[in-house]
């Protein structure tokens, strides 16, 4: 037979359980939350593993990226901020990183081209000084790109799916809610000699958010109210979703170029590479 004290203990234990296991994984001294963490490399999704497992190209492609803009016009909903954009404004830097790690492209600096040209002027001025030591140093010209990569973040759709579930009994309740947003990017390869768009890709990635909470609300005795609230919220970082969408777009672009002979594999038999086949079949599935 349960006593009043044992009921309170049971209620507390239940509330702690439903608040989520993530609240117990501490790296600091705090009772709840992840605690303090040191700086580390940005975590990546499965698309990053696919990017690294692509077969080798016959020759790397010199690619120029001048910009990769936010074309969504979306801002974070109030009261978070009326002036902060929903997506990062550093997408061009992220794309350069993806291109470099793919093993298929040699990205050329174009976003900071003016800074690069200024430094080259400084070098030429130093070499032209009368008291400069005589040498045969010649500043080489900048490398020209084979293709121009254009595109941007073209859509950010909020609340494309929401839902949840909850229950309450005898003053003890728990609920779980989720929300799904979606981010879409466009990436296209342009032939610099003709200006013709060789390939164009649209990829989308969901941004998942989840909240779990539990509470206890009941009178334990006359004029003695017990009230406990616990919860945790997990929001997938929008920049990681964007990074994954870019990685997928680059892989699809590589696959389209191989099929249409815009570029080639080092070993033609690598067309059967599992990663490459997965993305090529994904293109076929939408036809």
Decide: 217 and 226 in contact? Cβ < 8 Å.
yes
Confidence of residue 241 (pLDDT cuts 50, 70, 90): very high
For residue 147, count other CB atoms closer than 10 A to its CB.
22
Cα gap 254→199, rounded to integer Å: 9
Which one is predicted more confidently, 226 or 95? 95
* Residues above pLDDT 90, as percent of the chain: 56
Mean pLDDT lowest among 11-25, 75-89, 208-222: 11-25
Q: Which DSSP string corresponds to 38-53?
A: ---PPP--HHHHHHHT
pLDDT at 43: 87
Q: Which DSSP string corresponds to 228-278?
A: EEEEEEEE--HHHHHHHHHHHHHHHHHHHHHHTTSS-BSSGGGGG-HHHHH
Identify the residue whose tokens are 């010199």. Answer: 62
Mean pLDDT of 56-82: 85
pLDDT at 285: 62
Confidence of residue 230 (pLDDT cuts 50, 70, 90): confident
Longest dimension (CA), the chain: 100
Q: Six-digit token pair at 79? A: 């009261």
Cα gap 52→251, rounded to integer Å: 10
pLDDT at 61: 95
Residue 277, pLDDT above cutoff 70 = yes
pLDDT at 78: 64
Cα gap 116→140, rounded to integer Å: 13
pLDDT winner (highest mean) among 13-27, 102-116, 210-224: 102-116
Mean pLDDT of 109-127: 91
Domains along the sequence of the chain with CATH: 4-35+46-285 (3.40.50.10610)
Which one is predicted more confidently, 139 or 253? 253
Buried b (16+ CB within 10 A) or exposed e, 123-135: eeeeeeeeeeeee
pLDDT at 136: 62
Residue 167, pLDDT above cutoff 50 = yes
Mean pLDDT of 247-252: 96
pLDDT digits (tens, 9 = 90+) for 130-149: 776 666 678 889 999 999 99
Mean pLDDT of 75-86: 72
Which one is predicted more confidently, 118 or 76? 118
pLDDT at 22: 41
* Start-to-end CA span in the chain (Å): 66
Mean pLDDT of 78-91: 77
User: What's this model's pTM, rounded to 2 decimal places?
Assistant: 0.82
pLDDT digits (tens, 9 = 90+) for 169-225: 888 899 999 999 999 999 999 999 999 999 999 999 999 999 999 998 888 888 888
Residue 5, pLDDT above cutoff 90 = no
Confidence of residue 13 (pLDDT cuts 50, 70, 90): low
């Amino acid at each position: 037979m349960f006593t009043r004290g044992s009921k309170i203990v049971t209620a507390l234990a239940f509330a702690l359980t439903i608040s989520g296991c993530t609240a117990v994984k501490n790296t600091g001294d705090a009772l709840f939350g992840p605690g303090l963490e040191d700086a580390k490399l940005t975590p990546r999704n499965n698309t990053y593993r696919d990017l690294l497992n692509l077969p080798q190209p016959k020759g790397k492609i010199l690619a120029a990226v001048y910009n990769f803009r936010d074309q969504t016009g979306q801002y974070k909903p109030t009261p978070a901020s009326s002036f902060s954009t929903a997506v990062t404004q550093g997408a061009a830097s992220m794309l350069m990183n993806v291109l470099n790690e793919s093993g298929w492209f040699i990205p050329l600096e174009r976003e900071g081209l003016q800074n690069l040209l200024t430094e080259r002027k400084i070098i030429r001025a130093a070499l032209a000084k009368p008291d400069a030591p005589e040498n045969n140093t010649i500043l080489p010209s900048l490398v020209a790109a084979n293709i121009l990569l254009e595109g941007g973040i073209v859509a950010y759709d909020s609340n494309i799916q929401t839902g949840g579930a909850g229950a309450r009994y005898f003053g003890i309740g728990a609920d779980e809610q989720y929300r799904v947003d979606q981010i879409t990017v466009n990436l296209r390869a342009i032939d610099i000699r003709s200006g013709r768009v060789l390939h164009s890709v649209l990829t989308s990635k969901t941004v998942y958010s989840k909240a779990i909470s539990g509470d206890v609300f009941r009178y334990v005795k006359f004029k003695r109210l017990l009230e406990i609230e616990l919860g945790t919220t997990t929001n997938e970082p929008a920049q990681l979703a964007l990074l994954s969408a870019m990685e997928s777009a680059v892989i699809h672009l590589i696959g389209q170029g191989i099929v249409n002979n815009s570029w080639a594999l080092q070993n033609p038999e690598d067309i059967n590479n599992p990663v490459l086949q997965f993305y090529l079949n994904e293109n076929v599935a939408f036809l």
